[in-house]
Chain A
Amino acid sequence: MTLPDIATCAEPAPLRQRGQHEVFCGLTSIIWLHRKVQDAFFLVVGSRTCAHLLQSAAGVMIFSEPRFATAIMEERDLAGMADMHDELDGVVARLLERRPDIRMLVLVGSCPSEVIKFDLTRAATRLNARHAPRHRVIAYSGSGIETTFTQGEDNFLAALVADKATSRPAGAAAKLVVAGCLADVVEDQFARLFSELGLTGVVFLPGRDAINGLCVGPETRFILAQPYLGATAAALEARGARRIDAIFPLGAEGTSAWLRAICAAFRVDPARFDAVVAQPKRRAAAAMAHYRPWLQARRVFFFPDSQMEPSLARFLSREMGVALLEVGSPYLHREHVAGELALLPAGVTISEGQDVDRQIDRCRAANPDLIVCGLGLANPFEAEGRVSKWSIEFSFTPIQGFEQAGDLAELFARPLMRHAILTGGADRREAAR
């Protein structure tokens, strides 16, 4: 499969929407970041709404030791009766006394803290003076006014990169930084592939603990494993690292192109590359083939959620034979997703931003076979007799890489199979196999 030359592709003109957004704010990224980075604690500085959001999302699990909390701002803070920085110091002291095992404390900004211009970066610097090196303190913003869903992770990683620059003695700079939170199993698979390809000095960002060595310099190359990392890329580039451009590692084609771009950057012998990926590629093709009958020619509509939509749509259309109706994304980073957009079929509607009621109107009019949307819309669509795939699962499932290509296809096929089973459709027995 040859990829078109991205440089010659016409810039698509997306549909720009302004209006009601039915999306998560960046605070939601804490739900997976607290599990990936096990020695970090995320302290949101915000209102009761922020606390409520977090526990509504994560509180279904029962935590002996929560790894996130909220410092809830009260009237006295807003009225200026209490010094916010003193108050925060008190909260942090109480927290660290209770949880001395916290290695990195992450202060997370919210809408209320941003609106009143409470400077958390400054607070982090001050708290570091008191608590480092035992507890490192960093800050980033996950506010809804500035970030959508996965952009919270982007800001967190950017803050990590900036912090590494100041906090550690410079060691040997990493040769390759793979940026973007990946499931542990996916990270391990990529690490094995890199070593088979003869690549050394690879660092994953984020790692499994926050206090690990990440040293970035002019000789560092980095590649994005996730499409929502504009700020992280800028932070790495500010340290002198250079980006390897590629489409994202979703599906066999995406993974292959992503690895090939890395190999090209590090001048790995193409024959060696072909030898290393041959078997995983075959496995991916075999796994995906199971689900192709379910997805072939089905019409799919994407609501904006995580910025992964262009990559997911590319995977579905090119590897699963899906017909795309609309691909909505909360934000399009022109440079980072250029390759993905170039691979989408001509004429597909790309939309950026949202006006949710109008988008629902468009979706109903298009009458798709499968709607990829958030949890606020999914059950209401199901109740109308439509089939939906809730998009948050793409952030909570191992989907990158060759070995997960089949799992990724299955995520899309599953609601269609379930629909067939429960409605006693003709393909019911096939679905239940």
Chain B
Amino acid sequence: MKLSMWTYEGPPHVGAMRIAASMQGVHYVLHAPQGDTYADLLFTMIERRPSRPPVTYTTFQARDLAGSTADVFKNACREAVARFKPDALLVGASCTAELLQDDPGGLARTLDVPVPVVPLELPSYQKKENWGAAETFYRLVRAFVGRSPRPENIPANSCNILGPTSLGFRCRDDVTEIVRLLTDEGLDVRVVAPLGATPADLARLPEAAFNIVLYPEIADVTARWLKTAHGMPFVSTIPIGVGATEQFLAEVRALAGLPVREGLRRDRLTWYSRSIDSNYLTNKRVFIFGDATHAIAAARIASEELGFRVCGLGTYMREFARDVRDAAAKYGVEALISDDHLEVEAAIVAARPELVLGTQMERHIAKRLRVPCAVISAPTHVQDFPARYSPQMGFEGANVIFDSWVHPLMMGLEEHLLQMFRDDFEFNDGAAASHLHPQAPKPAAAPVETAPAGVIATWTLEAERELQKVPFFVRGKARRNTELFAQGKGIHPITVETLYDAKAHFAR
């Protein structure tokens, strides 16, 4: 049993639902108790979908448990097929139904419905949302891609895009951006799946020369199977960030047999980041957490394109832990692989970042610690399904990223003036950045600064006062460094002198 304040992923059947809701002509019958229909709201409210997701829930209640819940399930299947006439039926169980052991897959085979039935085995107490989505997509592709060999003479420039889903982080605009980029490069994009695809589209997957995996969390398994079964190569460089987008285009062109093209910088991030206004961003400490794809991409942008210093990097997806560990090694930090929100909080407290790039869940931590924060990855909420065009991928994605990551930081001039004059009645330590809160609320209590284990830190009153003169966004770091320095030198208590000795010691 695990204490979870927040969970980074939903249960695996929500992943399955996302695949069904992404596609056309697929209906999902889910054996689930009354109340599990809350998941509809993810689609109708958070994503503002104008139609009900194609899911029928059996919604059994306590009184049904005495009778045959299996019959309830079979009726739901028959009625769903009769009413919605799908091209394919997904069947599965939610966490509670899993305990009943009604075996939806076995039951559906005895139904004799006139459509292909794809049973899903999603272990709710072991696996989570992304795994459920990946597994569902894989099962559907397996069901509809035949074993027959691929057609002859496939044009080398034809490709499929795999991975974008309903409720994925900015998938809607990423697909638009990447399809446009590829088309400009002379690529022929055949099938985008699962988002917008039909089962018939899945059957056509092998008719393209190669696959592009935009979201490995969803489509990596499927792309690997298509490679094994049909010899289709796939690109898995994720085009988030300017450098990554150029690398992605080079790889795609190579696979398509197109000549190498010197990239014309088509983004604004590069110049915005180069312009002197961005000078103060240099080496700002940033903590990055999210799904593996977005976290790794964010770390690269942060360190190579914006000049931040990555002081923490992690993911909640164990399936991709190795990739994140490799990336973290590049920045000299140890990767945090955890789906425990409290562990992430502890790591952020320890790393003392000036900016957190994370999920909706890190916004809770950042609020508590009064650290600026931007969202880079699912889980997200309604505000991250915006009306405006806001991709993360491609060159326009880089522009969006520059704006949204820099926005929460205090602007340069304000930062300078705060270091000069601390006691202004309006602009002071306790006030939030003035461009964010015209009526600055009373700030939350600053978190308790805990000394690292084994450090006995006592500060003289003067030293404590002097520490308060350090701007708040680096004060935590200064305290920690000073305490480490004092411990190393056996200094006790910490004086004003110690504070400045440590400052000089750690200066870079």
Contact = CB atoms under 8 A, between A and B. Distances in A.
Whether A associates with B in a native complex is yes
A84 B125 CA distance: 15
A379 B379 CA distance: 22
A28 interface: yes
Contacts of A27: 35
Interface string A68-81: 01111111011000
Contacts of B52: 376-377, 380
A251 B5 CA distance: 39
A383 interface: yes
Looking at B58, B96, B124, B363, the one whose CB has the most chain A CB atoms below 10 A away is: B96
Contacts of B128: 48
B58 A20 contact: yes
Interface in A117-169: 143-146, 148
A145 B96 contact: yes
Interface stretch (B6-14, B170-178, B281-289): B6-14
A69 B126 contact: no
A27 B65 CA distance: 20
A186 interface: no
Most buried by A among B33, B42, B368, B379: B33
Report whether over half of chain A's contact residues are helix, strand or loop; otherwise say mixed.
helix
Given A47-B95, A94-B3, A64 B36 contact: no
B58 A90 contact: no
Given A62-B367, A71-B2, A22 B11 contact: no
A74 B45 CA distance: 30
A172 B283 CA distance: 65
B54 to A, nearest CB: 12
Contacts of A423: none
A25 B46 contact: no
B50 interface: yes
A331 to B, nearest CB: 11
Interface in B47-69: 48-52, 56-62, 64-65
Contact of B4 (A22, A69, A78, A148): A69
Contacts of B13: 49
B381 A72 contact: no
A379 B43 CA distance: 10
Interface residues of B, number: 64
Interface stretch (A53-61, A254-262, A412-420): A53-61
B444 interface: yes
Interface in B364-397: 364, 367-368, 379, 381-383
Interface string B125-156: 11010000000000000000000000000000
B436 interface: no
Contacts of A143: 33, 35, 62
B271 interface: no
Interface in B24-51: 33-42, 44-46, 48-51
Given A48-B9, A64-B444, A380-B50, A112 B61 contact: no
B99 interface: yes
B99 A23 contact: no
A263 B95 CA distance: 50
B157 interface: no
24 contacts: A20-B56, A20-B76, A21-B57, A21-B61, A22-B40, A23-B35, A25-B35, A28-B35, A45-B1, A48-B7, A48-B9, A49-B11, A53-B35, A56-B39, A74-B2, A143-B33, A144-B34, A145-B62, A357-B79, A375-B45, A377-B52, A379-B45, A380-B52, A383-B51
Interface of B: 1-7, 9-11, 13-14, 33-42, 44-46, 48-52, 56-62, 64-65, 76, 79, 83, 94-96, 99-100, 123-126, 128, 342, 360-361, 363-364, 367-368, 379, 381-383, 444
Q: What 3 pairs between A and B have smallest CB-CB spacing?
A: A25-B35, A144-B35, A383-B50
Interface of A: 20-28, 45, 47-49, 51-53, 55-57, 59-60, 62-66, 69-75, 77-78, 82, 84, 87-88, 90-91, 94-95, 98, 111-112, 114-116, 143-146, 148, 357, 375-380, 382-383
